[in-house]
Each structure stands twice: as C-alpha cells, then as structure tokens.
Chain A
Amino acid sequence: AQSVSQHNHHVILSEAASLELGCNYSYGGTVNLFWYVQYPGQHLQLLLKYFSGDPLVKGIKGFEAEFIKSKFSFNLRKPSVQWSDTAEYFCAVNERDSSYKLIFGSGTRLLVRP
C-alpha cells in the first residue's frame, strides 16, 4: 500500500533559522506531490504542488520543495522562518492516472519562537 512518511513530528526553531521538513513516499509509479499547511484555528491550505517539469517548486510565503525521484522524496524548505510560519505541515501524494485520492503523511508541527 502507498504511504507517506514525515520524519519530524515536532520541530522548534527560532526566527530567521532555516527550515527543512522531510517527506518520503512509497509508490513506484508516477505521482503528484503536495504540501499543505494548517495554521492554528484555520483549515488546510495548499502551500505548493508538483505535477511535472522542474523538480524545484516554489510556493507561497517563500516556501519551496524539491522532488528527488530517485529518493522518493519531496522535502519542504524555507531559508528563513518567521513566527507566523508556526503551523502544522502535511505532505501528500496522489497516484497520477489511477486515483485522485490524496495520501497524507502524519504531519509536522512547527513552532517558531520569536
């Protein structure tokens, strides 16, 4: 069965620190990849997505992610975090051409200290 692993369940950073959140998936076929964010008290919002093309994807609020096919990874990065980035981050995958459902990782809670 397909699965998505997010290695860090909780991350605490100080403002201006760099962020990298890991995401690995298990599926041998072609996939679409997503990062969603959930700010406190708000609903899931799309941060960025990868369907095809340049494996380095830029999203909103200065986030980016790199798809490394050989490593089945789609790690999220931001060079300098802000207090307002405190949120829960979810990586998600869907199998292109076979199903539209999203398979989510268990999430990473990020706390940015001012």
Chain B
Amino acid sequence: DTGVSQNPRHKITKRGQNVTFRCDPISEHNRLYWYRQTLGQGPEFLTYFQNEAQLEKSRLLSDRFSAERPKGSFSTLEIQRTEQGDSAMYLCASSRETQYFGPGTRLLVL
C-alpha cells in the first residue's frame, strides 16, 4: 500500500501525559499536513511542512503541540501535558497538488 500511513491508530492516555504520533506520507509528496477532527466537525488545519520546513501553523496549535519533519520524509506530532480537550482524531495528509489523507490517530485523554 503506497498511501499515507499513521501510527498508532488509537491512543488512550491520562491527562498530563505526553503523546507522539507518526505520519509517513506518500513517498514522492513534498508537502505534509496535520489536521484535527472532532465529532461532528470537519478537519481543522494545524500545520504543514514543505520538505523539512514548517511553513504554516494554525492558532489551534498551542505551545503544547510541536510537529517535526526532520528529513523531509516522515513527520511526528507531539502533544505535551495532554488535556481532555485534546481528545480528537489527528489526521495527516500529503500532497504535490491534491491532499491525500491517512487513516488518522484517534486520541482519547482520560
């Protein structure tokens, strides 16, 4: 399968813990995006990378969130000191022109 992959698919954590998610984009795509989706809503943009450079960040991305794409290939999204309000589906997408989405990581913060 050559689509976007995300790991883990599910994560349950306790409030205050740190979590890290990984995204592997489609190999020839130079842009990588993170979105967050809560129940009943469409995905909301968090940040995006062109190669290894993080070019845009949403105001939704508080200082507890950090994303990296160190070699312009896979990316990680870390949430520090998780809060219950962080519970959501975290989606990754990659593109040349059109964005293709991964299956998401569903986070539940207890």
Residues of chain A whose beta carbon lies under 8 Å from any beta carbon of chain B: 4, 34, 36, 42-46, 49, 51, 90, 92, 99-107
Contact = CB atoms under 8 A, between A and B. Distances in A.
Contacts, number: 49
B43 A100 contact: no
B95 A46 contact: no
4 tightest Cβ-Cβ pairs between the two chains A and B: A104-B42, A44-B101, A101-B45, A43-B103
Interface of B: 31, 33, 35, 40-45, 48, 56, 58, 91, 93, 95, 97-104
A18 B50 CA distance: 41
Contacts of A99: 56
Contacts of B101: 36, 43-45
Contacts of A45: 101
Nearest to A43: B103
Contact of A106 (B42, B99, B100): B42
Nearest to B95: A100
Contacts of B97: 51
B33 A100 contact: yes
Most interface-central of A36, A100, A105 (chain B CB within 10 A)? A100
B41 A103 contact: no
B40 A106 contact: yes
Nearest to B4: A43
Contact of B41 (A44, A101, A102, A106): A106
B31 A100 contact: yes
B98 to A, nearest CB: 6
Nearest to B104: A43
Contacts of B35: 102
Nearest to A103: B45
Nearest to B47: A101
Given A43-B104, A101-B56, A92 B42 contact: yes
Contact of A43 (B31, B95, B102): B102
